[in-house]
Amino acid sequence: MHLRRIIAIAKKELIQIRRDPLSLAMAFLMPMLLLFIFGYAITLDVNNLTTIVYDLDRSGISRELVAEFTASGYFSVVRSAESPREIDAYLDTGKARVAVTIPEDFSKNISANRVAQLQVIVDGSDSNTATIALGYLDVLTDKFAQRLSGSSAPALIDPRIRVWYNPELKSRNFIIPGLIAVIMMVIAALLTSLTFAREWERGTMEQLISTPIKPLELVLGKLIPYFLIGVIDMALSVVMTIFLFEVPFQGNLIILAVISSIFLFGALGLGIVISIVTKSQLVASQIALVATFLPAFLLSGFMFAISNMPAPLQAITRIVPARYFVAALKDIFLKGNPFRYLAADVIFLVVFAFLIITIANSKFNKKIE
Amino acid sequence: MLISVGRIKQLVIKEFIQIFRDKRMKAIVFVIPILQTMVFGYAVTTDITMIPAAITDSDRSLESRELARRFSASGYFQFAAAPESPAAVQELLDRGKVTVAIRIDHGFSKDLKQGVPTAIQILADGTDSNTAIVALDYAGRIIKKFSRDMAHPASAGAVRIDVRQRAWYNPELKSKNYNVPGVIAMVIMLTSLLLTSMAIVREREIGTIEQLMVTPLKPIELMLGKTIPFALIAFFEMILITAFAVLKFDIPIRGALYLLPLSTGIYLLSVLGIGLFISTIAKTQQQALMATFLYYMPAVLLSGFMFPIENMPLFFQYVTTVNPLRYFLVIIRGIFLKGNGLSLLWPELASLFLLGVVVLFLSTFRFRKRLE
């Protein structure tokens, strides 16, 4: 293996990258854009649910109940319905997500110590929001009932709740660290998946083949400049996460750097393999998106918990490198565990990087077909 | 300005031949939509069940065991461990082996029998805040019910409110019903955008576009010839995914079926327009790929596909008004889940149409200028 040849290829690739400033700009813009959107626009936290209230009781008590719902910040009453048909209309058109009907004997039942009823309809289309909305309603109704009962009948069992690692339960704190993994995977794929195919299509690959260069030297040489871009993107993302989004950082920067580098190596390698195998930029781009973006986004545990998935899919996530990187990132940012807890993840990433480079090496044929 | 349909037809045929000359493309056009549907249908479930939990029961009484039984019987929790010490609990949570750790102290049943208020400790891993919130909610409800059942009849002064809940459109609250129809929109957008922009830029990169320019082809014919094939592929994929969704995932279609191809057609106006636009700013396929993705990701994230628009800050809510995907999603979900018809969906259809016309107009203008 000649280091000089690898560096020569790296320099050539760098020159070619510089000739395409638009792509380079996009490579740096993309992580920032994604982080920006995830940091500011997107939240899984559910608040201000549009609610329509059909109050048939119109008593002081029913009005107090509605006031409690509004005061919580979780519900926003957009309409006091005058007929049941309005409920249909509002839910069908999506003007309201929640409909609360208070029957006319509500306050009478409460005063007489009978069980009072409350009818709640939620728009179940978005089951995530619906489940959380129902949960909030339960809690608020319970609190209301307790308040009315006075302190004469306290709850027999008081659950003392403490939340670790992310005490304010900010969804941002768990989404953004995982997002870094997705961003890195995507950038790596987009940058490297076309590089070999491009040379085949342009015809410059034949010139490269006629040199004494070995496949491994070519692969490594092409990898280096994109690795550098990836490292810069990684640093940018981490800085934004910690300083702009104030996600806590409990772990060790050096460990973060090491794990990220190993992951980046493997991800870039995957892009290169796709590029080598497909030889067509059009085909490579589609396969790259499906083989890297989809798994990283959906199957890495970044947003959707792996434990919720059916067993066969859970098995598939074991070969998704992003899964291990996401776990490591969440750990480093939120838990700050000692390194030995991360060892299993790191070993997988190392094995993956090693394997992928081996595959790239074997798949590259210095032959013209 | 006579447009020759014959010339356009020839271009469309040529495009199909070129695309499918690569046998892998046939597989890609077929397989990828199904793959995405499968992954979205199965993986993207925000339904939270079987939350790994740990319980430390220092009381070991009938009551404490009954409470534990209720937790596992609920189907929401799955007891993975019974740690004996706080250090063991710490390790379980640190390693992420459990999400919730419950501790029942000695004296629990004694207090219950005497009607003395007692406490249970619940530790939750807040890393995944969504799961944590739902887990705590479930735990709270189970404990509350248990508390009420154990309570003495003497607490007759208690106010009891019974909440009758119903979920419309998706009564079992299955998230796949919400996600899978949306996949149609996403897949159509990705394939159409990618194919359109890459195919046009590819000709430019390889050099064959100059050959096209010396033919009597008018710019508008070139444009139509380059976008119609991908519109056809998009329709094909729409049918494929819909069939798959209905047959394999049991997603209901409650609305009028004719609205589906109609709205897809209007949606494609914008998508193909954007693909054309990207082809005018990208000189190489690499640039086309990155530009496509640079548009695609924000478009998907800010469309209401996974994250409700109402929860976004006002600024971003305004941004979503120019996102065609936003309207298409409302239409698709309306057709599948709510059984909405033209009467309810016309505002979204109109907005989609307007957007499509504007985008196409701008892109066409740029495209023609570029050709000169």
A-proximal residues of B, 210-229, CB under 8 Å: none
Please give the residue of chain B at the shortest CA–CA distance from A93: B344
Please report the pLDDT score of residue A354 as a whole number. 93
Of residues B119, B164, B170, nearest to A127 (C-beta): B170
Domain count, chain B: 2
pTM: 0.82
Alpha helices in chain B (DSSP H): 5-21, 23-42, 62-73, 86-94, 108-114, 129-150, 175-206, 208-213, 219-249, 259-281, 285-301, 314-320, 324-333, 342-371
The CA distance from A284 to A277, in Å, is 8
Interface test with A, best of B25, B29, B37, B46 (most A CBs within 10 A): B46
| Position B46 confidence tier, pLDDT thresholds 50, 70, 90 | low
Q: Which helix (H) or strand (E) holds A328?
A: helix A321-330
Residues found in chain A = 369
Question: Is residue B168 a part of any domain in this protein?
Answer: no
The CA distance from A167 to A177, in Å, is 16
Q: What is the mean pLDDT of residues A290-306?
A: 84
Please report the pLDDT score of residue B152 as a whole number. 55
Lowest mean pLDDT among B58-67, B107-116, B223-232: B107-116
CATH superfamily of A49-152: abc type-2 transporter like domain (3.40.1710.10)
| Position A152 confidence tier, pLDDT thresholds 50, 70, 90 | very low
Of residues A26, A126, A132, nearest to B291 (C-beta): A26
Q: Is residue B206 domain-shared with residue B191, that is, in the same domain? A: yes
Sign, CA torsion A244/A248/A254/A255: negative
**Is B129 close to A171, i.e. CB distance below 8 A?**
yes
Interface test with A, best of B18, B79, B95, B161 (most A CBs within 10 A): B161
Lowest mean pLDDT among A205-214, B129-138, B169-178, B291-300: B169-178
Most confidently modeled range among A150-154, B114-118, B214-218? B214-218
Q: What is the mean pLDDT of residues B77-97?
A: 86
Residue B55 · residue B102 · CB < 8 Å: yes
The CA distance from A97 to B220, in Å, is 45
Q: What single-letter DSSP state applies at residue B97?
A: S
Residue B289 · residue A190 · CB < 8 Å: yes
pLDDT, tens only, A237-263: 999 999 988 888 888 899 999 999 999
**In angstroms, what separates the C-alpha of A136 from chain B's closest C-alpha?**
8
The CA distance from B343 to A40, in Å, is 35
Please report the pLDDT score of residue B158 as a whole number. 62
Question: Is residue B163 a part of any domain in this protein?
Answer: no
Residue type, A305: A
Question: Is residue B290 a part of any domain in this protein?
Answer: yes
Contacts of B79 (CB under 8 A, 6+ apart): B53, B54, B55, B68, B71, B72
Please report the pLDDT score of residue A156 as a whole number. 61
Q: Chain-centre distance of CA B272, in angstroms?
A: 21
**Is B165 close to A122, i.e. CB distance below 8 A?**
yes
Residue B363 has pLDDT above 60, yes or no: yes
Of residues B122, B128, B294, nearest to A174 (C-beta): B128
Helix (H, G, I), strand (E, B) or coil at A218: helix
Q: Which helix (H) or strand (E) holds A281?
A: helix A281-288
Helix (H, G, I), strand (E, B) or coil at B96: coil
Q: What is the CATH number of the domain that holds B125?
A: 3.40.1710.10
Question: Is residue B87 a part of any domain in this protein?
Answer: yes
Between B370 and A325, the higher pLDDT residue: A325
Question: Is residue B156 a part of any domain in this protein?
Answer: no
Residues in chain B within 8 Å Cβ distance of A132: 133-134, 137
The CA distance from B86 to B83, in Å, is 8
pLDDT, tens only, B216-234: 888 888 888 888 999 999 9
**Is B169 close to A125, i.e. CB distance below 8 A?**
yes
Q: What is the mean pLDDT of residues B83-88?
A: 88
Please report the pLDDT score of residue A140 as a whole number. 85
**Closest alpha carbon to A137 in B160, B289, B163:** B163
Question: Is residue B159 a part of any domain in this protein?
Answer: no
**In angstroms, what separates the C-alpha of B20 from chain A's closest C-alpha?**
11
Q: Which helix (H) or strand (E) holds A163?
A: strand A157-164
Most confidently modeled range among A122-126, A274-278, B123-127, B168-172? A274-278
Q: Does B43 touch chain A (CB under 8 A)?
A: yes
Residue B154 has pLDDT above 50, yes or no: no
Please report the pLDDT score of residue A67 as a whole number. 93
Please report the pLDDT score of residue B144 as a whole number. 79
Q: What is the DSSP string of A71-103?
A: HTSSEEEEEE-SSHHHHHHHHHHTS-SEEEEE-
The CA distance from B85 to A361, in Å, is 51
The CA distance from A170 to A172, in Å, is 5
**In angstroms, what separates the C-alpha of A282 from chain B's closest C-alpha?**
7
Residue A101 · residue A119 · CB < 8 Å: yes
Q: What is the mean pLDDT of residues B13-28?
A: 86
**Closest alpha carbon to B286 in A199, A216, A203, A364:** A199
Query: How many degrees, rounded to 5, is the angle at CA B126 between CA B123 and CA B128?
Result: 135
- Within chain A, how many helices (H) and strands (E) appear? 16, 5
pLDDT, tens only, A117-140: 889 998 887 777 787 788 788 878
pLDDT, tens only, B324-339: 999 999 899 888 888 8
Q: Is residue B131 domain-shared with residue B243, that is, in the same domain? A: no
Domain final residue, candidates B118, B150, B182: B150
pLDDT, tens only, A36-53: 888 888 777 778 889 999
Residue B95 has pLDDT above 70, yes or no: yes
Residue A151 has pLDDT above 60, yes or no: no
Please report the pLDDT score of residue A91 as a whole number. 86
Residues above pLDDT 90, as percent of chain B: 20
Q: Does B136 touch chain A (CB under 8 A)?
A: yes
Q: What is the DSSP string of B204-241?
A: HHHTHHHHHHTSS--HHHHHHHHHHHHHHHHHHHHHHH
Sheet order of strands, A157-164 included: A157-164, B118-125, B100-104, B51-57, B77-81
**Is B308 close to A171, i.e. CB distance below 8 A?**
no
Domain final residue, candidates B150, B165, B199: B150
Query: Which is it for strands A116-123 and A98-102: parallel, antiparallel or unpaired?
Result: antiparallel
Lowest mean pLDDT among A58-62, A232-236, B32-36: B32-36
* Burial classification of residue A363, based on how many CB atoms lie within 10 Å of its CB (0-12 exposed, 13-18 middle, 19 or more buried): middle
Q: What is the mean pLDDT of residues A171-175?
A: 78
Q: Is residue B344 domain-shared with residue B227, that is, in the same domain? A: yes
Q: How many CB pairs under 8 A join A and B?
A: 346
Question: Is residue B306 a part of any domain in this protein?
Answer: yes
Residues in chain B within 8 Å Cβ distance of A290: 32, 35-36
**In angstroms, what separates the C-alpha of B15 from chain A's closest C-alpha?**
13
**Is B287 close to A23, i.e. CB distance below 8 A?**
yes
**Cα Rg, chain A, nearest whole Å:** 28
Q: Is residue B212 domain-shared with residue B65, that is, in the same domain? A: no
- Please give the structure tokens belonging to residue B372: 């000169």
Between B29 and B175, the higher pLDDT residue: B29
Residue A366 has pLDDT above 80, yes or no: no
Residue B83 · residue B101 · CB < 8 Å: yes
Residue B256 · residue B338 · CB < 8 Å: no
* Burial classification of residue B63, based on how many CB atoms lie within 10 Å of its CB (0-12 exposed, 13-18 middle, 19 or more buried): middle
Residues in chain B within 8 Å Cβ distance of A97: 310
* Structure-derived torsion over alpha carbons of residues A297, A299, A304, A310, reported in degrees to the nearest 10: 150
Q: Mean pLDDT over all residues of chain B?
A: 85
Give 3-state DSSP helix, strand, coil % of chain A, rounded to 5. Answer: 70, 10, 25
Domain final residue, candidates B115, B150, B185: B150
A-proximal residues of B, 176-205, CB under 8 Å: 177-178, 190-191, 194-195, 198-199, 202, 205
**Is A26 close to B287, i.e. CB distance below 8 A?**
yes
Q: What is the mean pLDDT of residues A160-186?
A: 80
Please report the pLDDT score of residue A150 as a whole number. 67
Neighbours of A117 (CB within 10 A): 15
ipTM above threshold 0.90: no
Residues in chain A within 8 Å Cβ distance of B298: 33-34, 37
Residues in chain B within 8 Å Cβ distance of A112: none
Of residues B112, B128, B284, nearest to A305 (C-beta): B128
The CA distance from B191 to B271, in Å, is 10
Please report the pLDDT score of residue A157 as a whole number. 65
Domain that holds residue B70: 51-150
For chain A, the structural domain boundaries read 3-42+170-363, 49-152
Q: Mean pLDDT over all residues of chain A?
A: 86
Lowest mean pLDDT among A139-153, A284-298, B296-310, B341-355: A139-153
Q: What is the mean pLDDT of residues A76-83?
A: 92
**Tokens 């081996």 identify what position?**
A358
Residues in chain B within 8 Å Cβ distance of A38: 301
Contacts of B219 (CB under 8 A, 6+ apart): B367, B368, B371
pLDDT, tens only, B221-278: 888 888 899 999 999 999 988 998 888 888 888 888 888 999 999 999 999 999 999 9
**Cα Rg, chain B, nearest whole Å:** 28
Residues in chain A within 8 Å Cβ distance of B301: 34, 37-38, 41-42
Question: Is residue B166 a part of any domain in this protein?
Answer: no
**Tokens 């702009």 identify what position?**
A244
